[in-house]
Each structure stands twice: as C-alpha cells, then as structure tokens.
Structure 1
Amino acid sequence: MNDPICFKATQHMVFELVRTDHKSYKQLAQKDDKEFKDRIRSYAWSWRYSKASFEVMKKRLVDIVNKLISQKRNDAAERNRAELKAYFSMLERWAVFKANRQQTGQLLHFGQRFLKRKLKKTWQQIDINPPHLTYLPRLETYATNLDEYIDRRNAWDEHGIEIPLAVIQSANSNHDIDDYIEREISRRNQLNQDIQDKSDELFLDVLQ
C-alpha cells in the first residue's frame, strides 16, 4: 500500500497495516481427481511497526546495551539492566501481530549479535531473559456478512442483547430473531425482579 493505514500507539511507536503474501491450500479430498490443491487465499493483513518506529526502537536497544556494557559502577549497571528488562517487556507486550512479531525477532537477533560482538556474552550470561513472543488470541467472528452484522448490532443498540451468531445464522426469518429477543428480555426482566425481591427480603430481615 502506498499510504498504509496507521495508528500511533505511543510517542515513538507507530503501527501500519500491511498485506502479507502467503500460500495456503485446501486439502484434496480422497476421491478428488485433481492433481493440485486449490489455493484458499494468497494474502493476509497484519500490523507492523513503521520504518521510522523500527529504527527508533533499534537505536534505543543499541543505546541501552552500550550503556550497560560500559558501566563501571554496579548501581548504574543495575539501573541499565532494569532498563533493558523494561525494554524487553515492552517488546513482549506489543509483539502480538504476525508482521511486528517478525520485526521483534529481527530486533532481538540484532541485539544478540551486537551484545556478542561487544561483550562476548549472551543475554542469559548477563542475567537477562529475552522476551517470549506469543500470538494474540484470535477474536470470535462477529458476522460473516453485512446482514448478520446489522441484525446483531441492532439487537444490541435497541435492547442491549448480544445475539449469538449461531442464532442469527439458524434463523429462518426476522420473526425467529424477534422471538429470541423477546425471550431474552423476559428472562432478563425476571432475573432483575428476582434480584429486587431478594434485596427487599434482606432489607426486611435487617429491620427485624
């Protein structure tokens, strides 16, 4: 994309939305006569650090490591070690997307080589644990088409009811959706009444 969609997470951290190419294919059925697999989709969307943000993060890592290995006083070295741990913690919190997790891996690999060249040691040898990079859990599909989105959103906006997607997809008409909403409203009203009755009962017990 020439002008990618961006959002500014922090003062020096800007993310941009990018399309990443990949190959993904359907498995051939056992009785399928085709000699090839059908491609499902050849791309995906992900967030990555902008080029400027990545360079700022890289420079910060170099500065922290340089300060750490050049310190002569133990108290100052401990402060630099704490700063490096905080930096790694920041990387771990933000590296949840495929594209920026790959960039984070590049940063860690660069930092490891830089430390090895300068100090002849690894992260573990200076009592630093590099971050553990994980995936952001996949969010539940809210809707697969515009009609499903409208039905679910209207139910929430008008009644404060979150209709499960499975209910929307199994409904044969709007009447089925309306019936579900009415049942949920009735159940909610009954629950509120039970809570109110219990509250009144406890209040009377206190008065006695």
Structure 2
Amino acid sequence: MTRGRFITIEGGEGAGKSTQVERLIAALTRAGITARRTREPGGSENAEAIRHLLLEGARDRWDAISEALLLYAARRDHVCRHIEPALKRGEWVVCDRFADSTIAYQGYGRGLPLAELRALHRFTLGDFQPDVTLILDLSVDQGLTRASLRPEAADRFERLDRNFHERLRKGFREIAAANPQRCVVIDAAAGVDAVHRGIVRAISSTLGVAVLP
C-alpha cells in the first residue's frame, strides 16, 4: 500500500490555520483522497489532556523547558497512536501545528536553544517530518486583532506580549528559509479563498497531485 502524506499548517496567532485545515480536507476529499484532520497540541486522548495543561492557566504556569517536554510527550503519543498508523493505511493527515511550532514558540519565542529542541525531536520521533508544511504569514497586529475576535477566551500564548509574537513570526520565516524543500510561505493577509487557493497550488505542485480549490 502506498504510504499517505503528512501535511502541516503553521503560523502565528490569528493566521487562520484551523479554517484552512478544514478547507484543505474538503478539497482533498473531493479529489478522492482519504484525509483526516488533527491538531497539536492534542490529536490523541493523552495528548488532548496535555493540551489543557499547556494552554490553560497563568502565563507563567510553565517555564519554557517544561512546555517543550510536555509538547513532545503529547507529540510522540499523537504520532505513534494516530498519525503514523493513518499514513501506513495510505491516508493523508493534515495537522493544525506540529514540531515547527515548538521551534517557533519555545525556541524563538521563549529563547530555548534551537539545537536542543531539534535533539529532543530526534530523541522522541527520530527523523519523522511532514511531507509539506504551509506557513501562514501574517503581521502581528493583524493576527492578534483576529485572535481577539474569537468567542473563546485567549489561551496562555495569545496573552503573551507583542515582542513574543514578533519573535514567533521571525521564527516561522527563518524555519521556512532553512527548509525550502518542505516549507511554503502563504500570505495570510489575503482573503480566506485566496489563501486556500495558494495552499492547494502548493500541495498540487509539491506532491504532484491534482487537487482543485
């Protein structure tokens, strides 16, 4: 059986990742591809429990190292129990955030050494990486404004200061520049439809499949 493909959608707060994951799943389904949606932190029963620990509570509830360890505990469970089995069945998996978010948030944002975060990834997941990563790029002002309009309360990371979010954006851009074979930057300031078309074009050209918006 042909192995499925693993696609991740990344970006700062308010970039529209969840909306685009949903639309991409619909486009893949129309193309006859069996695709499943998931998210991080979370995606498995154990990982969802860790998600609540990470996102709720005071901004200083966890230090950066604790966050990274919790994230990778959740990520390993998610990959082992859900993502890898789905890929082996030939399904495509589209994930709202993955390991690049840990590099951006705990590395660029919180200041942890990037080499140590990459070593943590290798220790927990080996060389497991997405086939394609779409990075939704948006100015901090636009992103935080959009995030503030959500009906749910802001999480621990959304409540961090502007400088933190500027470092996140810089981090995601540098991740994309360092991994051009895997990462595609999409202008998230465009309308929802335009962003979706950009994502579909990137998936079609990178993975060699015919997917229509």
Q: Which has the higher contact order (CA 8 A, sep 6+)?
A: 2
- The verdict on a shared fold, with TM-score over 0.5 as the criterion, is no
User: TM-score, structure 1 length as denominator?
Assistant: 0.29
User: TM-score, structure 2 length as denominator?
Assistant: 0.28
Q: State which structure, 1 or 2, has the greater radius of gyration over its C-alpha atoms.
A: 1
